[in-house]
Amino acid sequence: MQIRFADSRPTGDYALVLPIAGKDRKSLGSLGSAQQAVAAALDRQRFEGEASNVSEQFVEENGSVRRLVLVGVVSGTSPDEVAEKLGGTAVARLLTSGEKKAVIDVSALGFDADATARVALAVALRSWRYDRYRTKLKDTQKATLEEVVIVGGGAGAQQRYESRWAPVVEGVSLTRELVTEPANIIYPESFVQRVRASLEGSGVEIDVLDRAQMEKLGMGALLGVAQGSVREARLLVLKWNGGAKGEPTAFVGKGVTFDTGGISIKPAAGMEAMKWDMGGAGAVAGALKALASRKAKANIVGICGLVENMPGGNAQRPGDVVTTLSGQTVEVINTDAEGRLVLSDAVAYVQRTYKPSTIIDLATLTGAIIVSLGHEWAGLFSNNEELAAELLKAAAESGDKLWRMPLGEPFDRLLDSPIADMKNVGPREGGSITAAQFIQRFIESGVKWAHIDMAGKAWADKPSATYEKGATGFGVRLLDQFVADVLEK
């Protein structure tokens, strides 16, 4: 979709989008003789102008009919939030409407350049679709909107969008693509290939460890998860060196490209959703693309632990003991608690190889976090108060919402094993916390660490202002905002 910015409305055929702040009708003043009829229609519709409410009308203009879309915005809320809800709501309404061009006029809102650019950000994010496998779409289901022009706002909005937000759209789009693809298309080797192709020419350095290399290093936990599948494991390393020399910040993602649960097999109903169990790794890949695309002044190393968890004849068994890269041993009680095993070797590898001062891992790790937080927040666990505060701030700014969860020694004790250094699961109670405690056992002293359990956020069953049902791209905007706030300041 083409997105442009203009100082005034163009001529010609297009759908016009105007914001309505509550019962304030001042944006209707630009409609000329149609103003009174439109205002009367809003009153008859009992349109209160609440956030994202929509009234659609058709008005006569110069002898032709124009589609008019009125979108409610809430005055007093942040311009960023207003902008994204306006842009996303508008494009959701018009994407398959038959209209080819839309004009969103934000003149009445007094936006600066960044808020205006965020309208475009939401337009681009909300219009993302993945129709590769849909061969029989009805005409009414096909996207028709080809161009959006944003009118008004601060000078420099186009430059702000192109330099700051368009790269984020690229990163989120890569993550959504990876998460959406089925497991027969995206598996460890093809994940690497898809990311490599997407990052070609970006300046991101790419390294890949295969099974033999990981065996030599002693990654028994990650390889134990993969041993039941014919798809061999990979460890994907992405390096962006955009800052001054110094310790990098590490992003580590769980990349289980399909999770049957292994021998501890999941119920059949809904198992198809487990194609998105690589959402953490997808977020890391997308974040590196966004950061490289906007030439972020930071040094980042991204690690994607990529496996497929299958119940094959060589699959890991409940009761097996594996030796991790760190040398610690784990009694595998439940083979469906596999993500933490992958992460244990991935975080050990990044610490041994790159010596990061900070590690942030992202994983669709536990159903327990969905019980706690539903699909509204991802859970945040951290060993450092400053890092936790920085991530919560980035979450509020980016819209990738986090909720701080506790850690504590009583939960850690629940992982003690009678025959190994630890078990890979504790009791049912506090399941997301014991999972985080497990990962923390592999974090070296002095390293700041945060774990984000995003099991309820990688995929959505209902749309929002910036995504349709399906892959959300969660984590990309969060990591990008963290880098902007903390590492580039």
AA identity, residue 303 = I
Residue 137 near residue 180 (C-beta atoms within 8 A): no
Cα-based angle 421, 426, 427 (whole degrees, multiple of 5): 150
Using DSSP's 3-state secondary structure scheme, residue 30 falls into helix
Query: What are phi and psi for residue 416, nearest 5 degrees?
Result: -65, 140
Looking at the DSSP bridge assignments, the partners of residue 182 are none
**401 catalytically annotated:** no
Could you tell me which of 429, 487, 150, 166 has the C-alpha nearest to residue 298? 487
In angstroms, the CA 149 to CA 104 distance is 6
- Strands of 402-404's sheet, edge to edge? 205-209, 234-241, 299-309, 249-259, 358-363, 448-453, 378-382, 402-404
Give the DSSP H or E segment for 236.
strand 234-241
In angstroms, the Cα distances linking 213 to 119, 121, 208, 218, 315 are: 46, 41, 9, 9, 20
Could you tell me which of 134, 439, 464, 164 has the C-alpha nearest to residue 280? 439
**462 catalytically annotated:** no
Cα-based angle 73, 379, 198 (whole degrees, multiple of 5): 75
What is the dihedral angle through the alpha carbons of 222, 224, 225, 226, rounded to the nearest 10 degrees? 90
Using DSSP's 3-state secondary structure scheme, residue 29 falls into helix
In the set 85, 254, 294, 340, the catalytic residue is: 340
In sequence order, the 6+-apart residues with CB closer than 8 A to the CB of 256 are 225, 274, 277, 278, 307, 308, 309, 338, 339, 342, 364
Could you tell me which of 299, 460, 252, 309 has the C-alpha nearest to residue 374? 460
Cβ of 477: how many Cβ atoms within 10 Å? 28
In the set 66, 164, 196, 266, the catalytic residue is: 266
In angstroms, the CA 379 to CA 222 distance is 23
Residue 284 near residue 302 (C-beta atoms within 8 A): yes
User: Given the DSSP bridges, would you call strands 147-151 and 101-105 parallel, antiparallel or unpaired?
Assistant: parallel
Catalytic site residues? 266, 340
